[in-house]
Structure 1
């Protein structure tokens, strides 16, 4: 088994020696090519919630930490590898506001 880690966010892919390693390798390369750090003010996904990025700390850890705010006002800190990107920022903003968040 070979491990491949994204140099941007730290997400780990385990590429098995059996089965279809090319498929996992392809997923890793596609992820690595499209991975970037969100800016404050952007929306990202944490599990199924849409959250607002308040701050990005890329200096204290090996991989960036994001401070985010839930629509309820609760704040949290997550590693970049544990959040998902949102393609449509406008739709994410509408969902965030409809759940009680303030932009």
Structure 2
């Protein structure tokens, strides 16, 4: 991950640019990942967790006890803030989704 600390104003627009991909490119990548997870199972999960999250998993199973223990470490105030952030992120990215558009300008074209 690239860290940017106090960029100059003339760098802002370049920094804020998002890479653009076509819907077909995105669908192809996602389908490839799904297919690999379907066929390779936990091996693929570990691979993509390492690739996207930079975390090496020993196991993909989390016990109910581990979940409860972790939840107890997070204050109620923070849990509420996380839920609100989750909702905001979902709304933001839903609005960003690229829609597939088929246009017929004339018959056969």
Q: TM-score range by the shorter chain?
A: under 0.3
Q: Which has the higher helix share?
A: 2
TM-score by length of 1: 0.22
Q: Which has the higher strand share?
A: 1
TM-score by length of 2: 0.21
